[in-house]
Amino acid sequence: MIASNYPFLTNELYDVVRLFGAEVEVEHALSYENGVFSNSFSVNGERFSSEDVHVCKDELSFKRYAKRFSKLALYRHLAKLYGEMPWGALTGIRPTKLAYAERKEGRAFEPLFRQMGVREDNIALIAEILSHQRAIYEGNKGGLDLFIGIPFCPTKCAYCSFITADIRYTERYLDDYLTVLEKELAGAKHLLKDVKSVYIGGGTPLVLDEKRLERLLKAVKDCSLSGEYTVEAGRPDVFTRGKLDLLKDYGVNRICINAQSFLDETLVKIGRRHTAKDVFDAFELAKGYPFSVNLDLIAGLEGEDEGDFAHSLKSAIACNPDNVTVHTLCLKKGAKLKEETDRLDGSVIDSMIALSRAYLSEAGYAPYYLYRQKMMAGNRENVGWTKPGKACVYNVDVMEEITDNLAVGANAISKKLCGGGRIERYASPKDIPTYLAKIDEIIAEKDKLFEET
Ligand SMILES: C[S@@+](CC[C@H](N)C(=O)[O-])C[C@H]1O[C@@H](n2cnc3c(N)ncnc32)[C@H](O)[C@@H]1O
Ligand code: SF4
């Protein structure tokens, strides 16, 4: 149980407790007088307090510093009991946004990160990421990215908590889904001005057969877009030459061929129907096409140790992708694997992440975007790595929230930047039948979001 005299702090304190995975009772009281924040805590009956000085100019700044100092005080206490965390008291999804916010106020971000207990290697990583995404970040002149969600997969992977389903159970919706997507895209055409990038993801878009895939690609083509165009083609078990030909013919210039692991034993355990050889074969096939290729790996998969992960990293590098995204296993509700992963040892994950940084840097990749999620094994992060000049615009835009995002499909979240850091969102229904039934309402809501704000 966590209680605070300022209710807006309860969730923030809960996020700190969750970092340690500990069962603790927290009572918290904050007072603010003459520029002094006084935080008093009782944690499992043990009392402590701290004082920090900051003169707040308005309500917004009060909230910001109240969060910062109360989280920090609780973090320091719990870190003494359970050990330090790689990102210290930072619990947000986007540490890079916090770094930019400091820079915008004329300060270096490093002192704040140090104050929050972030480890030096992670501070250095953030600095590297900011420098490698600079061209995209600083070249940003607004505009919009288009996301198209295809929540269908060949099988559901055991670790995955995305809203997507095994196509055996959802195939009956597929044609209607495409019809509604066509309608949604046509309905959004007048909003699709100055589109910087298109991303078809999900899900596994290449689970569509060639006829259906062409319908989808044609609907996008009818919107007359240009620029970066990614299809998260996804699993190598759905790759065919015919589908890749279609992607090329319709102007796709970036695809993902995701391995997750290069150990066949792991791939069986996590319910993916392909082998490591299938990944190599998919890369061989993709060589004949003008695509930039991304490959996803996950650190911390069931039963894997550092040696296994090193094998996956080396195999990934041998495939020579333009981008490698190293995810850390995330323990969200909805994934079958949750039971096993709860017991993962943070130090094993730490070694895996250290290996990924060493091997990928050595192979000529640079980190260019990063995000964190709640419930990640070892409280780590996901990092996108790129070869020089191959950074994905869409990923930077989405992570840094520097462009509008018009998202179509079930469970697609559109975002409109409204100035002053405020973002308006619209999320379409998660389940496919509701999405299909409500399409007219969804189109109208999106019109309202992008035209009125
Ligand atoms: C939306 S999924 C789509 C990728 C594609 N369907 C595939 O599986 O190859 C994007 C990526 O998120 C990562 N991912 C999904 N669930 C995850 C989890 N529970 N923990 C860590 N990474 C996860 C995987 O690396 C996956 O490739
Ligand atoms: S990881 Fe990819 S293929 Fe597996 S269930 Fe999730 S979205 Fe589908």
pLDDT of 338 above 80: no
Atom of ligand 2 nearest to the CA of 160: 6
Pick the closest to residue 198 from 439, 389, 405, 446 (CA basis): 405
Beta bridge partners of 260: 297
pLDDT in tens, 20-47: 988 899 999 999 999 999 999 999 999 9
Count other C-beta atoms under 10 Å from residue 221's C-beta: 13
Atom of ligand 1 nearest to the CA of 159: 19
pLDDT in tens, 391-419: 999 999 999 999 999 999 999 999 999 98
**What's the topology of domain 1-83?**
Double Stranded RNA Binding Domain (3.30.160)
Beta bridge partners of 31: 38
CA 343 – CA 221 distance, rounded (Å): 47
User: What pLDDT, on a 0 to 100 scale, did the predictor assign at position 420?
Assistant: 83
Atom of ligand 1 nearest to the CA of 332: 19
User: What pLDDT, on a 0 to 100 scale, did the predictor assign at position 374?
Assistant: 84
Assign 335 a pLDDT band (cuts: 50, 70, 90): low
Specify the residue with its C-alpha closest to ligand 1, atom 5.
234
User: Which H helix or E strand runs over 28?
Assistant: strand 26-33
User: What pLDDT, on a 0 to 100 scale, did the predictor assign at position 161?
Assistant: 82
User: What pLDDT, on a 0 to 100 scale, did the predictor assign at position 228?
Assistant: 96
DSSP three-state, residue 240: coil
313: region left, alpha or beta (phi > 0 left; psi from -120 to 50 alpha): alpha
**Matching CATH number, 135-408, of 3.90.230.10, 3.20.20.70, 3.40.50.720, 3.60.15.10:** 3.20.20.70
Q: Is 161 in the pocket of ligand 1 (CB under 6 A)?
A: yes
Q: Is 372 in the pocket of ligand 1 (CB under 6 A)?
A: no
Pocket test for ligand 2, best of 168, 204, 232 (most atoms within 8 A of CB): 204
Query: What residue ranges line ligand 2, CB within 6 angstroms?
Result: 153, 156-157, 160, 162, 164, 202-204, 234-235
Q: Is 150 in the pocket of ligand 1 (CB under 6 A)?
A: no
In contact, 283 and 320? CB cutoff 8 Å: yes
pLDDT in tens, 233-275: 989 999 999 999 999 999 999 999 999 999 999 999 999 989 9
What's the whole-number average pLDDT of the chain? 93
- Strands of 224-356, DSSP E: 228-234, 254-257, 292-299, 323-328
Atom of ligand 2 nearest to the CA of 202: 7
pLDDT of 345 above 80: no
Specify the residue with its C-alpha closest to ligand 1, atom 14.
160
- Strands of 155-291, DSSP E: 165-166, 195-202, 228-234, 254-257
Q: Which residue has the higher pLDDT, 375 or 323?
A: 323
Assign 315 a pLDDT band (cuts: 50, 70, 90): very high
pLDDT of 341 above 90: no
Pocket test for ligand 1, best of 93, 148, 159 (most atoms within 8 A of CB): 159
User: What pLDDT, on a 0 to 100 scale, did the predictor assign at position 336?
Assistant: 58
pLDDT in tens, 170-203: 999 999 999 999 999 999 999 998 899 999 998 9
Specify the residue with its C-alpha closest to ligand 2, atom 6.
160
Domain positions in the chain are: 1-83, 135-408
Assign 421 a pLDDT band (cuts: 50, 70, 90): confident
Q: Is 37 exposed, middle or buried (0-12, 13-18, 19+ CB in 10 A)?
A: buried
Give the whole-number percent of the chain exceeding pLDDT 70. Answer: 97
pLDDT in tens, 141-171: 788 999 999 999 999 999 998 888 888 889 9
DSSP three-state, residue 228: strand
User: What pLDDT, on a 0 to 100 scale, did the predictor assign at position 164?
Assistant: 83
pLDDT of 438 above 90: yes
Specify the residue with its C-alpha closest to ligand 1, atom 25.
296
Q: Which ligand is nearest to the CA of 258?
A: 1
Q: Is 380 in the pocket of ligand 1 (CB under 6 A)?
A: no
As given in the structure block, the two tokens for residue 283 are 């890369």
User: What pLDDT, on a 0 to 100 scale, did the predictor assign at position 193?
Assistant: 86
**CA 297 to ligand 1 centroid distance, Å:** 8
Pick the closest to residue 177 from 198, 197, 205 (CA basis): 205
Q: What are phi and psi of 195, to 5 degrees?
A: -80, 125
DSSP three-state, residue 67: helix
Pick the closest to residue 86 from 292, 299, 399 (CA basis): 299
**CA 160 to ligand 1 centroid distance, Å:** 6
User: What pLDDT, on a 0 to 100 scale, did the predictor assign at position 143?
Assistant: 87
In contact, 422 and 447? CB cutoff 8 Å: no
